[in-house]
Amino acid sequence: MTLTADRTATGQFWSDVDRHLVRYGAPFTPEIIERAAGSFVYTAEGRQILDFTSGQMSAILGHSHPAIVQTVQRGIASLDHLFSGMLSRPVVDLARRLAGSLPAPLEKALLLTTGAESNEAAIRMAKLVTGRHEIVAFAQSWHGMTHAAAAATYSAGHQGYGPTPPGNFAIPAPNPYRPDFTTPDGELDWQRQLDYGFALVDAQSSGSLAACIVEPILSSGGVIEPPPGYFAALAAKCRERGMLLIVDEAQTGLCRTGTWYAFQRDGIVPDILTLSKTLGAGLPLAAVVTSEEIERAAHERGYLFYTTHVSDPLVAAVGNTVLDVLEAEQMDVRARDLGEFLRAGLLEIRGRHHVVGDVRGRGLMQGVELVVDRETRQRSDALGARITRRCLELGLHMNVVQLPGMGGTFRIAPPLTATREELALGLEILDQAIGEATAAT
């Protein structure tokens, strides 16, 4: 293709985008992506871009991992999709293996497609089993865009869509960098904050509290990691009220934070666990995992969550391959080691740039919060957008939280297969981009 023809084709592409695509969130990245491999994506112009977000925080084994490619090629030629009432070996094998990776009594799995769908199924199950309907979530949560999941999502998406289902309550997220309740020395007093949050819930509840749904690390909310001890206290609040605890590990599950599941740090076991993103390593696979007792109660009450792609064999086979690779290559250990390297580099960047207010996270899920002033901790959506643009120009794809008033926190989640050299490259580009973007103001 000649240069002129190539430019014409590119112009037509973006014309078609403007004419035919529904816009569904943040602006589209101004690149045409032709292929992806490992830790990189490649544009139509031949540019190589380091992917520091694992796609949509999902491709934990990098793009086009050979084992995943082989599984998909084999599966699409033999066993792809079935009637929802039919079962196959990959589905049963994955359910068994998920149970084997989790503490008792989590042993019953429902295989679905997306995080929103798994949270929808979990909330529906909790309501049916408890006979109640009220749901509690963090005020900066993201659980998906389907009906019940969206009602429990408070970081965005409520305005303009009419009333949500009755009985949804928000409690404040425990953010150590921006404490609302403080101890005498100015640190976050999370116990007092939690007590206050549930006092408000109790005041508003009609006596029908069914469940609390939480992320171990609030990703879209700004990579907020509740302090040690918080989730044990939250679980106790749930038990006191007869509520189920649903833990949403869409982004944190399966080794990303340095343990197989992020909730393990806190010594708790959720009543219902939801998985997605990382389970399919970029393909549409999700799971709801719960106890035999809860599953039996749900079944006896006529639990219904019948979808087109429930228990699909092809993606279940991919899930088994993901577990194979995670186990064989000890990806939990790798994520811990690489996470320490990444964090050390981010702290060095913080030491060089006054606009970096905080570095936080665990393993290969790190957050960098940008501020105009470290003393006031004033946010700047514009600053985050400028640095993101400069990173892309230099060959690094970064995701900055783009919600109103929260647009200054980078979510950094490279693949677990990334090398130290690739992480070092990303750190170098980020360092340069911050310096150039701040110098230009």
* Residue at 54: amino acid letter: S
Strands of the sheet with 365-370, listed across from one edge: 356-362, 365-370, 409-412, 399-400
Identify the active-site residue in 277, 350, 362, 390.
277
Question: Distance (Å, rounded) from C-alpha 90 to C-alpha 157?
Answer: 36
**Catalytic site includes residue 378:** no
The two structure tokens encoding residue 67: 């084992």
If DSSP codes are grouped into helix, strand and coil, which group holds residue 375?
coil
**Catalytic site includes residue 248:** yes
Asked if residue 390 lies in contact with residue 402, where contact means CB atoms within 8 angstroms, the answer is no
**Catalytic site includes residue 251:** yes
Identify the active-site residue in 51, 108, 411, 422.
411
**Catalytic site includes residue 237:** no
Identify the active-site residue in 140, 142, 266, 386.
142
Identify the active-site residue in 140, 251, 366, 402.
251
Identify the active-site residue in 51, 117, 134, 215.
215
How far does Cα 223 stand from its chain's mean position? 10
Q: Which residue has the tokens 């509740």?
A: 226
Polymer length of the chain:
441
Q: Contacts for 227-234 with beta carbons within 8 Å, 24 or more apart?
A: 227/174, 227/176, 227/188, 227/190, 228/265, 228/266, 229/190, 229/266, 230/174, 230/190, 230/194, 230/266, 231/263, 231/266, 231/268, 232/266, 232/267, 232/268, 233/190, 233/191, 233/194, 234/194
CA separation, residue 423 to residues 62, 157, 431 (Å): 13, 33, 12
Strands of the sheet with 33-37, listed across from one edge: 33-37, 40-43, 48-51, 396-397
Give the active site residues: 142, 215, 248, 251, 277, 411
